[in-house]
Chains A and B, each alone.
Chain A
Amino acid sequence: MPSTLKKRQTKTAYLLLLPALVLLAVFAVFPLFYTLVVSLFHWRIRPGSFVGLEHYHEIFGSWDSFIEIVLSILLVGLFLHLAGRRAGALRVVFRLLAVGAGGLLLVFLGQVWAKGDAHFLRSLEITLWFALGTVPIQLILGLSLALALHARFRGKTALRTAILLPYILPLVASASVFTLLFSLSPQSPANQVLAFFHLGPWQWLKQPQGVFSADQLPVYFSDWWSSWTAGPSLALLCINLFNTWLYSGYYALVFANGLAAIPAEVFEAASLEGVSKPQLLFRILLPLLSPTTFFLTILGVVGTFKAFSSIYVLRDASTASAVDPASVMIFFTFFREVRYGYAAALAVVLFLIILTVTNAQRRLWEKRVFY
């Protein structure tokens, strides 16, 4: 591109961006910097003394573990990167090395568990279970619904509206319904389904034990390693289900947008060449939808890190420690404990984690996204 043209475009571009950038700077970037500053102070509603990086030290327990964690994350990234560039045996070796570095990361996190903020680490673990339990299912369900609706048939409008209903209904209303459906009472619909298979009754939203837990202890009693083998609690799985139910319609909506943007020629060509349905889906539609899928994956992962209301409405005090993800934990540090300084430091760390994860996702996807 000629430099004069680029120069002219630069001016136009910034003029176009101005309103958005000003507002984002004021209402998103300024809060971030404010948070950064607050995190360096003893700050309970009102600013107190300057404490430097003390809050961050408290989170990690020691600077050594902080450095170790960062290094092991970098190692995982490096090995994955190298594995992507090599072929054959070397690729396998690098992949194994990446797994090893991941194991090392777990060990280092175990140190944070012992000396740092175990509470925060637990909430991150819950966030991970939450993300794994919602994003992939929402993607598959959303795509299936969008495909099913991408045609002309009687009752389509009604069905489409019905599918988006969970997203439209006030959260408190749908949460009330959900607590009834998954109540621990043997007469609850969920337990009646179990009874049909001669199982249960289960306690659903009030069951704090990990689903793979060997002992019958709730997940918040277990230590670092057994917390991983115990898996998520049934209460958390119920919340996952609730979130999937809430947002699948939304994913379907965005997928519908993506499908609508695929030019008709593509389908014409496919039908002329006699492409089979699965081929149409896997060879043609999925690659063409990759920007949408990419967008939704990023959004879904960022969303799980930030999810708040959809968890808050279902959390019960008696299982709180088994279902509170990082966002809820930080909210309470902020608005219940009023440890503004510390909550700010936690938020900054969470922000960095989200940034790292989405960046990794972007790199993984880059080769596969087709524009």
Chain B
Amino acid sequence: MGEKSVLLKTLTWRRQPLSLVLRWLTVGFFALLTLFPLIWMGATALKSPAEVMTRLSANPFNPQFWPTEPWWPNFQVVWLSGIGRGLLTSVFLSVITVSGLLVTTIPAAYAFARLEFAGKNWVYSAVIATLMIPETVTFIPNFLTVASLHWVDTWQGMTVPFMANAFYIFFLNQYIRQIPQELFDAAAIDGAGTLRTILRLVIPLLSGPLATVIFLEVLASWNSLLWPLLISQSAAWRPVAIALARFTSEEGSQLGLRMAASLFAILPMLIVFLILQRRITETLVRSGIR
């Protein structure tokens, strides 16, 4: 951390009070917009079923926005419904999915970024083209594949289809390309094989982008609903998204419950992000190119 990036220095507030004001205006305004739904969720989660329907204001300065008094049974009901199990299942499924994803994606991105091989352009184009397939049409054929592998209602069925994603290969490829060639030459001189180069050189240098990939995929796995619904046939592998769906009803007074459940569900994601976010913007430079 010896040399702070000069950009940081040029943008420090002591020298540039105006830029600070601008920054706070931009980010602060946006942050306010994004915090509002969270506040609304909190207020709604604390309303009784009747209040959810009678106190409808969307203006936090209007008392109708808030419950008359906090209604805790929402959280109690959600917890007793066994959302804890859904959370655990989701943690397990997202860990498996992300592990598998990293195992397939990092080597593939490395191959595209650093190796010259026959058919490279074709394979790369084909991989990128898979990004453009509308999801709607993949549901049924993928369900057929999973069914023929007897993976319905198993964790494999929930995770394996998402263990390769052209998007992340494309994404990591951009950053592996930016690593200076000298570093690879040096590794080669040290006698490092491909696998060691990836493990010792590429992965440490890519900690930022990798943290991003992990975060995005954990989130995607966490929030996906339709696929887990197709695959799960019993309580065994029901992720938190399905547990959440059970708090909707055709009549709507369950909104308070639903928001309480949503708050339970986003908590782990916030923790994951807080852990990863330091890594995400760590520069290549600081992690040791020099």
Say if the two chains contact directly (CB < 8 Å): yes
Q: Given A21-B123, A148-B27, are A256 and B133 neighbors across the interface (CB < 8 Å)?
A: no
A10 near B117: Cβ-Cβ < 8 Å: yes
Residues of B within 8 A of A172 (CB): 244, 248, 258, 262
B58 near A153: Cβ-Cβ < 8 Å: no
Which bucket holds chain A's interface residue count?
A: 35 or more
B37 near A177: Cβ-Cβ < 8 Å: yes
| Bound form: Cα–Cα A145–B34 in Å | 13
A151 near B11: Cβ-Cβ < 8 Å: yes
CB distance from A278 to the nearest CB of B (A): 12
CB distance from B191 to the nearest CB of A (A): 15
Q: With an 8 A cutoff between CB atoms, is B209 at the interface? A: yes
Give the number of residues in B that approach A within 8 Å (Cβ atoms).
103
Q: Name A260's contact: one of B31, B169, B284 (CB within 8 Å).
A: B284
Q: With an 8 A cutoff between CB atoms, is B214 at the interface? A: no
| Bound form: Cα–Cα A238–B280 in Å | 31
Which positions 159-173 of chain B face chain A at CB distance < 8 Å? 160-161, 163-164, 166-167, 169-171
Q: Given A28-B133, A189-B59, A264-B3, are A292 and B31 neighbors across the interface (CB < 8 Å)?
A: no
Q: With an 8 A cutoff between CB atoms, is B178 at the interface? A: yes
Q: Mark A132-153, 1 if CB is under 8 A from B, else 0.
A: 0000000001001100111111
B136 near A334: Cβ-Cβ < 8 Å: yes
| Bound form: Cα–Cα A287–B123 in Å | 28
Q: With an 8 A cutoff between CB atoms, is A355 at the interface? A: yes
Residues of A within 8 A of B90 (CB): none
A168 near B58: Cβ-Cβ < 8 Å: no
B6 near A343: Cβ-Cβ < 8 Å: no
Q: With an 8 A cutoff between CB atoms, is B236 at the interface? A: no
B103 near A19: Cβ-Cβ < 8 Å: yes
Q: Which residue of B lies closest to A358 (CB)?
A: B132
B38 near A169: Cβ-Cβ < 8 Å: yes
Q: Mark B129-145, 1 if CB is under 8 A from A, else 0.
A: 11111111110111011
Residues of A within 8 A of B123 (CB): 17, 21
Which positions 141-179 of chain A face chain B at CB distance < 8 Å? 141, 144-145, 148-153, 157-174, 176-178
Q: Mark A1-23, 1 if CB is under 8 A from B, else 0.
A: 10001100110111011011111
A29 near B126: Cβ-Cβ < 8 Å: yes
Residues of B within 8 A of A141 (CB): 30
- With contacts defined as CB atoms under 8 Å apart, how many contacts are there between chain A and chain B in the complex? 283
CB distance from A183 to the nearest CB of B (A): 7
Residues of B within 8 A of A187 (CB): 57
A34 near B141: Cβ-Cβ < 8 Å: yes
Q: With an 8 A cutoff between CB atoms, is B105 at the interface? A: yes
Q: Which residue of A lies closest to B36 (CB)?
A: A177
Which positions 287-302 of chain A face chain B at CB distance < 8 Å? 291-292, 295, 299, 302
| Bound form: Cα–Cα A8–B269 in Å | 43
Q: With an 8 A cutoff between CB atoms, is A24 at the interface? A: yes
A9 near B117: Cβ-Cβ < 8 Å: yes
Q: Which residue of A lies closest to B133 (CB)?
A: A32
Residues of A within 8 A of B22 (CB): 148
A27 near B34: Cβ-Cβ < 8 Å: no
A14 near B161: Cβ-Cβ < 8 Å: no
Interface-central residue, B111, B112, B259, B284, by most chain A CB under 10 Å: B111
Q: Given A19-B104, A343-B137, A347-B137, are A302 and B277 neighbors across the interface (CB < 8 Å)?
A: no
| Bound form: Cα–Cα A347–B133 in Å | 8
Q: With an 8 A cutoff between CB atoms, is B20 at the interface? A: yes
Q: Given A145-B27, A148-B26, A305-B134, are A173 and B262 neighbors across the interface (CB < 8 Å)?
A: yes
B108 near A16: Cβ-Cβ < 8 Å: yes
Q: With an 8 A cutoff between CB atoms, is A26 at the interface? A: yes
Residues of B within 8 A of A165 (CB): 34-35, 37-38
| Bound form: Cα–Cα A77–B107 in Å | 36
Q: Mark A248-262, 1 if CB is under 8 A from B, else 0.
A: 111001101101111
**9 contacts across the A-B interface (CB closer than 8 A):** A17-B111, A19-B107, A19-B163, A32-B130, A152-B8, A170-B244, A176-B259, A261-B178, A347-B134
Give chain A's interface residues, CB within 8 Å of chain B.
Answer: 1, 5-6, 9-10, 12-14, 16-17, 19-24, 26-32, 34-35, 141, 144-145, 148-153, 157-174, 176-178, 180-181, 183, 187-189, 192, 245, 248-250, 253-254, 256-257, 259-264, 267-268, 270-271, 280, 291-292, 295, 299, 302, 305-306, 308, 327, 330-331, 334-335, 340, 343-344, 347, 350-351, 354-355, 358, 371
